[in-house]
Amino acid sequence: MPPFLLQRTGVRSFGHLAAAVLLLMLGPMVVGASERVPKRISLQGKLKYKDARVRDIWTLVQSGTGVVYKLPAQPLDLTGYPIPATNIVTLDCTPDSEMGTGCTNISRAQVSPAAGPVARVNIDITLRLLVMVVSYTASSSCGDRASADVADVRDAYTNELGYMNFLRNCSYGQATYSNVTVISTPVPCTRSLELCDEENIAFTARMSATIMYGSAFVSSYSRYTYVVPYGLLSTCGWVGLAELPGTQTWYTPDGDGIFNKGTVLQESLHNFGLYHAWRNGTEYQDNSTSMGWGNSCPSAPELWRLGWASPLAQLNSSTLPPKTFKTYTLPATYATSQGNMLRIQPDWLSKRNYTKNLYLALRMQGGGDRDLLDEFDGKVSVHEVNKTIDNVMTAVDPRFSLYGTINASTSLDMPSYKLRVISSALVSSAITVQICRYERLPKECVDAS
């Protein structure tokens, strides 16, 4: 691709200039311990969140200057409620004596009155992605570090079973890449980069790309990915990292990072506002979805949250009378976006007990789900979701959690929801399920044929 060829000649032409410019621009970003640091400063800016597998990363991008301040935790408002990412926030920061753009403590956080975002796409979206494969060149601070092969990274996105097709299949064509450009971005090594400061990695990579190709080239993209050099896994502590929501993702240059389809889809969907998947009270343990440890498409509640799929029926006390089975035929989620799940709001429970909604969907290997684990293939997946968040689509974690699966030609009783589900045999890529809610005991549901 032309940018790759330009880069190869550009290193010779602009290498020394790029190093000098990047070092000059990085200089003011690190405050030495000997400099005077204010005891407390007031900041206003956009709150950003990155979801790493080992820790949460909260930052504030200062209004006007664009300086990124690292926060010790998610800010709480004056009532003690956690402030969601993407809000404009004012807070007091106690600067780190070692790094002036880090806050060791935050207080008096207030959010602007603007409503928080709803994590739903619900429209067709076309992405232009710039992937920057970052390598370090030796400097007085530290040595060089190589990174992944540009051609290999490009192939991971563009081959027949690559990430471009994976996203297209999982979104039923509603989220696609119109262009994926992969370039090499060598940057001079600094202590901050060696410590895997993801904001500095992004800043220096984009500066390198700007020097080589121009600002118009870099700004023409809507998403940005950074592949970090080899040897930083233990320092970074993650194989994938993303703004949630946002436009940037970071990966390690290995089979668990940029060359893992599940990792890449998970971080990409974090940009859309999707959170991790749970099972048995443990984060990541839902292996039926890339939002856990799987290499397959999102689960039913995740598809609903993204606006990529619609329910066959929405059941509640009005639409599901007691002691009566209702019958539905569910297609496999990979086959169609229309009517591929049942969304259940069990409001027949007491106010105290109605805390979660349920989703039922048939998962089968095929399409974007070609790598679905056998554990879920040909079975109905049942998921629980926090009902308060799910019902109004607030932009916080709804805690998607796998309740279990239903094999073909079996039944499942869910006493905590007063529900009984009976499944038929699989017919091609569809299954029929009968659902009944009872008032006291499952035996009240007796009219299933």
For the ranges 30-44, 81-95, 191-205, 247-261, the lowest mean pLDDT is seen at 30-44
Indicate the pLDDT class of residue 435, thresholds 50, 70 and 90. Answer: very high
Q: What is the reported pLDDT for 65?
A: 73
Domain ranges of the chain: 2-26+120-273, 41-111, 300-444
In this model, does residue 39 exceed pLDDT 50?
yes
Please, which residues have CB within 8 angstroms of residue 427's CB and are 6 or more apart in sequence? none
How do strand 240-242 and strand 411-414 relate by DSSP bridges?
unpaired
Residue 67's nearest CA partner among 26, 110, 38, 98 is 26
More confident residue, 355 or 86: 355
More confident residue, 116 or 301: 301
Cα separations in angstroms, 400 against 91, 103, 198, 232, 281: 31, 32, 28, 31, 10
In this model, does residue 14 exceed pLDDT 80?
no
Q: What is the reported pLDDT for 38?
A: 60
In this model, does residue 236 exceed pLDDT 90?
yes
More confident residue, 168 or 41: 168
In this model, does residue 130 exceed pLDDT 80?
yes
Return d(Cα 162, Cα 370) in angstroms, integer: 12
For the ranges 31-45, 313-327, 417-431, the lowest mean pLDDT is seen at 31-45
- The average pLDDT across 44-58 equals 79
- The average pLDDT across 206-230 equals 97
In this model, does residue 330 exceed pLDDT 50?
yes
Round the average pLDDT of the chain to a whole number and report it: 88
In this model, does residue 41 exceed pLDDT 60?
yes
Indicate the pLDDT class of residue 316, thresholds 50, 70 and 90. Answer: very high
In this model, does residue 402 exceed pLDDT 50?
yes
In this model, does residue 267 exceed pLDDT 80?
yes
How do strand 401-406 and strand 278-279 relate by DSSP bridges?
parallel
Q: What is the reported pLDDT for 114?
A: 46
Q: What is the reported pLDDT for 113?
A: 58
More confident residue, 53 or 373: 373
Residue 310's nearest CA partner among 361, 365, 378, 372 is 361
In this model, does residue 119 exceed pLDDT 80?
no
Return d(Cα 269, Cα 296) in angstroms, integer: 12
In this model, does residue 310 exceed pLDDT 90?
yes
Indicate the pLDDT class of residue 321, thresholds 50, 70 and 90. Answer: very high
Q: What is the reported pLDDT for 120?
A: 52
Indicate the pLDDT class of residue 3, thresholds 50, 70 and 90. Answer: very low
Hunting for tokens 């207030």 — which residue is that? 110
Q: What is the reported pLDDT for 254?
A: 97
Q: Using an 8 Å Cβ cutoff, are 393 and 385 in contact?
A: no
In this model, does residue 9 exceed pLDDT 60?
no
- The average pLDDT across 241-263 equals 95
More confident residue, 232 or 10: 232
Return d(Cα 384, Cα 268) in angstroms, integer: 23
- The average pLDDT across 290-312 equals 96
Q: What is the reported pLDDT for 296?
A: 98
Indicate the pLDDT class of residue 54, thresholds 50, 70 and 90. Answer: low
- Residue-wise pLDDT for 65-113, tens only, equals 778 888 988 899 888 888 888 788 888 888 887 777 888 898 888 886 5
- Residue-wise pLDDT for 375-390, tens only, equals 999 999 999 999 999 9
Return d(Cα 225, Cα 214) in angstroms, integer: 18
Q: What is the reported pLDDT for 102?
A: 86
Percent of the chain with pLDDT over 90: 69
Q: What is the reported pLDDT for 264?
A: 97
End-to-end alpha carbon distance in the chain:
61
Percent of the chain with pLDDT over 70: 87
Return d(Cα 110, Cα 153) in angstroms, integer: 42
